[in-house]
Amino acid sequence: MKKVITLCAIAALVLSCATNPFTGKKTMAFVPDSSLFASSFQQYSTFIKENKVVTGTSDAQMVHRVGEKIKGAAEQWLKSNGYANYLKDYKWEYKLVQDNAVNAWCMPGGKIVVYTGLMKVAQGEAGLATVMGHEVAHALANHGQQRMSASVLQQLGAIGVTAATGNSSAETQQKAMAAYGAGSNIAGMMPFSRKHESEADRIGLILMAVAGYNPDNALSFWQRMSAQGGSKAPEMLSTHPSDQTRIANIQKLIPEAKAEAKKFGKSFK
């Protein structure tokens, strides 16, 4: 019986994997896009209603303009690589929201928010394209879907720990669960998230380059972000690469982005 359950679980894992066009890798997809997008659109709508959306300003216009260019770059790249229908269920929106946080995000399905606090660090379209390309890349690479799937696996692991220590004392069970929680986060979830950040940097550079923005500008943007300061956890205890790691990786990835952009008639000195 246990073997049957195990085989079924393995089959479910295999059937729940999908190949992503941007990474070429099979990724976990336990939650279908139809459910993920519906939830994303509803959450986005609620957020927009509860926050102040900035309209009619030059910054708001810039957010929309850059968003359209990044969207167009994604469509171009996907079509040329045989994935013309990949974005068919996306419903793109680009909103500038009044908030001093130096941040931006893109939800599954193309719902984008840029906070006004980011604009002073972006310092123009190229900087903004760096961020929006990166955030859109998270959505295109299905990182939200993968995180949800990874959480399911983490929860299954916790159930396994509970079952394995079921006959032990309450103290032993608590220690085992605490050890599992810390270990699965540090050795599993955090590296998984850092990998996603690096993937989004790579894809984002390609998108901004195909959109016509020189990817060299990504270096100066992330240097400005690093200069914002603030306390940061050591890389191994963080969901993001360190500033130094990110900047070094981006520098290595820029030639690939320029080469991709050249295929679409874009070139940079």
Please name the helix (run of DSSP H) or strand (run of DSSP E) that holds residue 94, with its range, or none. Answer: strand 93-97
Average pLDDT, the chain: 82
User: Is 125 in the active site?
Assistant: no
Is the whole-model pTM more than 0.95? Answer: no
Q: Where are the domains of the chain?
A: 32-145+189-262
Lowest-pLDDT choice from 18-32, 80-94, 173-187, 196-210: 173-187
CA distance 228 to 241: 16
Higher pLDDT among residues 83 and 5, named by residue? 83
Residue 196 CB-half CA count within 13 A = 25
Q: What mean pLDDT do residues 97-122 have?
A: 95
Q: Which one of the listed residues 50, 93, 125, 135 is annotated catalytic? A: 135
Instruction: Encode pLDDT of 16-68 as tens digits.
Output: 567 788 888 776 666 677 788 999 999 999 999 999 999 999 999 999 999 99
Calpha distance 201→240 (Å, rounded)? 11
